[in-house]
Structure 1
Amino acid sequence: MLDDLDRRILRHLQRDPALSVPELADRLGQSAPRLTRRLEKLQSGGILRGQRAVIDWRALGYEVEVSLRVTLDKTQTRAFDDFLEGARGIPEVLEIQTFLGRVDVRLSVIARDIAHYQHIYRRKILTLPHIADIEALMHVARIKSDEVLPI
């Protein structure tokens, strides 16, 4: 599926996603038009989905991160749909994951401090529909957070 040039392009972009096409072409020893065609191919194939800004939310004053493991009342036919719709609307929810097993959903929630987290939890999280059980895990340290693939 990927040839050597595709893999080299992806490795460079993973290290420095802000590289311009001319800079990347120069590093790869390719012409800018050829590189542009390759990037378009990677994008149209769904491999390269775009670039994004990575914001350090701690630098913005968010000091607390909590993972909430939620079990839903699956006797309700719309439990997942209703819960996920509501959770998507909470700005402090950074990530939503669904699972098979005892835990149905994991929410990653950020807050400025414990008082702010309690407000989010009581006023926003606990008002979400179809919660059967919820467990909070306070993050202490992030040991590894890496989206770089071994290409």
Structure 2
Amino acid sequence: MDATDRKILAELQRDASLSNTELAARVGLSPTPCWRRVKQLEAGGVLRRRVALLDGPALGLGTTVFVAIKTRHHTAEWLDAFARTVSSFEEVTEFYRLAGESDYLLKVVVPDIAAYDAFYKRLIAAIELSDVSSAFAMEEIKYTTELPLG
């Protein structure tokens, strides 16, 4: 990956709706080589997909909860079942396995605290967990999907 590929990725991170012609102009290429580079980035798995970013509060999804989970289970079978279970909840927008005090971290987006409580009850009914701690975001100060490309 060279500097031109990084420019392409930076532009697409800012606005994935750019036409190939617009993108090519912004990165200093003609359309055909630009299109080829985008296709290579897609084929290589660097460019995973292009999406629209929605405004949660405008859609009635104004509550973000970070959920730290601890478990006594550390087998491959349990992890597979846990990953399938958590991934099936549409409220979970991010899901990480951690090193440190907690084993997993979820980012959950819901309309309100009552909706989070309903999510929580479904989660603990679906799979055995040792500890679930929730932290409610009071304010979103910085949010970006743009990765630092140097």
Q: TM over 0.5, yes or no?
A: yes
Q: Which amino acid aligns with 2:123?
A: I
SS state at 2:59 partner: coil
**Runs of 5+ unmatched residues, structure 2:** none
CA RMSD of aligned residues (A): 1.8
Structure having the higher helix fraction is 2
Whether 1:18 and 2:5 are equivalent positions in the alignment is no
Pair 89,31 (structure 1): closer, same or farther in 2 beyond 3 Å? same
- 1:79·1:129 contact (CA, 8 Å) conserved in 2? no
- Superposed CA deviations along residues 109-146 of structure 1, whole A, max 9, x for unmatched, are 12212222222212x12213120111111111122222
Match of 1:126 in 2: 124
CA distance in 2, matches of 1:136, 1:28: 43
Whether the 8 Å contact between 2:6 and 2:149 is mirrored in structure 1 is no
Specify whether residues 75 and 27 from structure 1 end up closer, same or farther in structure 2 by C-alpha distance, changes over 3 A only: closer
Percent identical among aligned pairs is: 32
Which residue of structure 2 aligns with residue 145 of structure 1? 143
The AA in structure 1 aligned to 2:110 is: A
How far off its partner does 1:71 sit?
Answer: 0.5
Corresponding pairs, count: 149
Query: Which residues of structure 1 form unaligned runs of 5+?
Result: none
Q: Equivalents in 2 of 1:75, 1:99: separation in Å?
A: 12
Residues 75 and 17 of structure 1: CA distance in aligned 2, closer, same or farther (over 3 Å): closer
Larger radius of gyration: 1
Residue of structure 1 equivalent to 2:99: 100
User: TM-score w.r.t. structure 1 length?
Assistant: 0.87
Which residue matches 1:58? 57
Deviation at 1:15, TM superposition (A): 2.2
Q: Measure, in 1, the Cα distance between the counterparts of 2:27 and 2:84.
A: 44
TM-aligned CA distance change 1:52 to 1:71, over 3 Å: same
Deviation of 1:79 (Å): 2.6
Q: Report the Cα distance in structure 2 between the residues aligned to 1:66 and 1:39, rounded to whole angstroms.
A: 35
AA matched with 2:136:
M
